[in-house]
Amino acid sequence: MDINKLREAIKKNNFEWRKHKISLNLILRKEGDNKMEKCPLCGGEKKQDYTIYSVDLKFGVVVVRKVPAKVCSQCGEEWIDSKTAKKLEKIVNSARQSHSELEVLSFQS
């Protein structure tokens, strides 16, 4: 994808973020692509559900429960949209300031 098209899509929030269970990296995936309604890993159907997001901040761990996500009905791979990713980023940054060893939060609150 052309970098300028990528920037425009990000500005319009026209992206979905994928959270891979193994690496926990958020990977950019184009939303609205017909292929994205099917899991690109196994071909299963993506359904709206909830997931748990965790991040290790070196001094502690932040766990966010009830995060809205699309989840593959076959392999369990998870995707979060850009609005959810932005809210998660705010939650984690807020938790980072507290320097707690373990913080468990709910996305919905």
Q: Domain range spanning residue 85?
A: 3-106
Q: List the CATH number of the domain containing 94.
A: 3.10.20.860
Threshold 0.85, pTM exceeds: no
More confident residue, 36 or 80: 80
pLDDT at site 25 = 42
Is the pLDDT confidence value at 81 over 80? Answer: yes
* Residue whose tokens read 């929030």: 13
Which residues make Cβ contacts (< 8 Å) with residue 41, sequence separation at least 6?
A: 72, 75, 77
Q: Give the mean pLDDT of the chain.
A: 78
More confident residue, 25 or 9: 9
The stretch 78-100 carries a mean pLDDT of 89
CA dihedral 69, 14, 32, 41 (to 10 degrees): -50
Number of domains in the chain: 1
